[in-house]
Amino acid sequence: MPRVEKTVFISYRRANLPWALAIYQNLTAHGYDIFFDYESIGSGDFEQVIIGNIRARAHFLVVCTPSALERCGNPGDWLRREIETALDEKRNIVPIFLEGFDFAHPAISKCLTGKLSNLQKYNGLDTPNGYFNEAMTRLRERYLNIPLEAVLHPIPETVQRIVQRQQSAANQAPATPVGRTSIPPTIGSGSVKSKTPASQARVPSIPGWDFTSRAKPATGSAPVMKITEDCISCGACQPECPTNAIHEGPETYLISPKICDGCKGYNAPQCVDICPVDCIVRA
């Protein structure tokens, strides 16, 4: 009789790390063995580690936000390659729909070229605002609770060691606050989201700083931001920074005051909106 496998690969864009981590933490707490590229595996190990783990695991989750698939039109895009491998290997593919993701949206459907167009045939899991835990229960009970045959391809010992390192690093991440997780952070700046005119974008409220104006503050110097000790080191803010001012520090992520220009030319600091725990504040 076929067994129900509890091995899962999570495929995601780095900007969606908080979501991948929250899914990882939920499934791990329910006895699943998860692999996701938590600490950025080098391209040299990509084939062996990433592709090997997709082949070795029964279930393949794709974290779908509006911006997640936008680079998939490029045949070399790694997210595309992961999904294509899962399709080739006939994994149990479950797209996780976040932030109102919709395959029918023109900006998304145009990315689903070639083999990738098959992704929309899979039954995705809706994760409505405020119902993350309920969605995870549905994921476990309906989407992952199916017997699969012949899904195991042994992983070499060297790859297994990398898997354990990634799991160990992910296990040390603080628990993603469920209250925040149930309210999706505004992650990514992809094609769908970016259609919102800048004048209509959500403007953060930071005392003493008028983000509705592009004018420099009265002091004449550009304001800068800092990251507080509440940072959970999810890394989501780093790729959003147009000046490359955000870096991983020994305990939390840090913003270089010498580089940060407060997102001059933008109508809001790009890092603030994305932070799932609201720990980026005015310096």
Shortest distance, position 115 Cβ to ligand SF4, whole Å = 33
Rounded to whole angstroms, how far apart are CA atoms 99 and 24?
Answer: 18
Among 32, 66, 253, 273, binds ligand SF4 (CB under 6 A): 253
Cα dihedral 48, 52, 53, 58, rounded to 10, equals 170
20 counts as binding ligand SF4 under rule CB under 6 A: no
| Side-chain half-sphere CA neighbours of 264 within 13 A | 13
Alpha helices in the chain (DSSP H): 17-29, 43-45, 52-56, 78-88, 106-109, 132-138, 157-172, 178-181, 270-274
225 counts as binding ligand SF4 under rule CB under 6 A: yes
Rounded to whole angstroms, how far apart are CA atoms 186 and 19?
Answer: 11
227 counts as binding ligand SF4 under rule CB under 6 A: yes
Selected range binding ligand SF4 among 96-104, 124-132, 196-204, 243-251, rule: CB under 6 A? 243-251
Q: How many CB atoms lie within 10 A of CB 124?
A: 18
Q: Which is nearer to ligand SF4, 44 or 265 (CB)?
A: 265
102 counts as binding ligand SF4 under rule CB under 6 A: no
**Helices and strands: H and E segment counts in the chain:** 9, 9
Chain center to CA of 155: 25
Among 152, 261, 267, 281, binds ligand SF4 (CB under 6 A): 261
Q: Which is nearer to ligand SF4, 22 or 231 (CB)?
A: 231
Selected range binding ligand SF4 among 41-49, 82-90, 171-179, 274-282, rule: CB under 6 A? 274-282
Rg (CA), the chain: 20
187 counts as binding ligand SF4 under rule CB under 6 A: no
271 counts as binding ligand SF4 under rule CB under 6 A: yes
Selected range binding ligand SF4 among 51-59, 85-93, 149-157, 259-267, rule: CB under 6 A? 259-267
Q: Which is nearer to ligand SF4, 18 or 95 (CB)?
A: 18
Cα dihedral 143, 111, 128, 267, rounded to 10, equals 150
- Interface with ligand SF4 (CB under 6 A): 225, 227, 231-237, 240-243, 245-246, 252-253, 255, 260-263, 269-271, 274-275, 277, 279-280
